[in-house]
Amino acid sequence: MLLAGVLVLATPVLAQTPTPASTAQEVAPDIDLYALMSGTCRTLKVDGQDYPCKAVAFFHSEKGRAHFTVALDDPADQSHIIAFSGLHGHRSRTQQELYELPVDRMLLNSKDRPKVDGIPVPAAETSAGVCRQIGNFAALQVASVTCQATDRSGRAYELQFVSDGAPITLRRVRQTAPNIQSDPYR
């Protein structure tokens, strides 16, 4: 999706089927911030298979869930996207440039996934792992992102992203109160 001249990787937080009693607020996406980073994926592995990446982005939700989302450069599947997703991300108390996100699920998207409004809805796989980002959103600089996770089926996911030094594109979708330890926006 192209938004204000910036590629946005659509990653629904949860796929919800509206019920007659649902309100617009219940089914509205709760993403309050996204950051698009430019650089290179030195490593991107999905279940042992290497891929190049097209884009890496960070999404944060009002409820505290965050995702490091990666669009894979997969010639067989233009919709191949993975996201390392978790709650309770935080900046290190001793290293202010370090943000850590415990990963509790992987969001997996492909051309074969069911669609809602024309957009594939990712499969959520319970997982365990961690992402570490070096950089500072307020300064619009992210040096690197590393993620490792293993899902309950034993599939391993690995990302080593290195910035090209260009400032990140940071967008606050909505103003919200910080809900994680050590506000990542400062």
Query: Above 90 in pLDDT, residue 24?
Result: no
Give the pair of three-digit tokens for residue 90: 């935080």
Q: What is the pLDDT of residues 73-85, one digit of tens each?
A: 999 998 899 999 9
Mean pLDDT of the chain: 82
Give the pair of three-digit tokens for residue 159: 């990302």
The full set of domains in the chain, from first to last, is: 30-172 (2.40.160)
Running DSSP on this structure, what letter comes out for residue 181? Answer: B
pTM of the predicted structure, to 2 decimals? 0.79
Taking the CB of residue 13, how many other CB atoms lie within 10 A of it?
Answer: 17
Query: Above 90 in pLDDT, residue 105?
Result: yes
Give the pair of three-digit tokens for residue 27: 């089914």
Residue count of the chain, please give it. 186
SS3 of 15-51: the string is CCCCCCCCCHHHHCCCEEEEEEECEEEEEEEECCEEC
Cβ(9)–Cβ(2) below 8 Å: no
Q: What is the pLDDT of residues 163-183, one digit of tens each?
A: 999 999 998 876 545 544 444
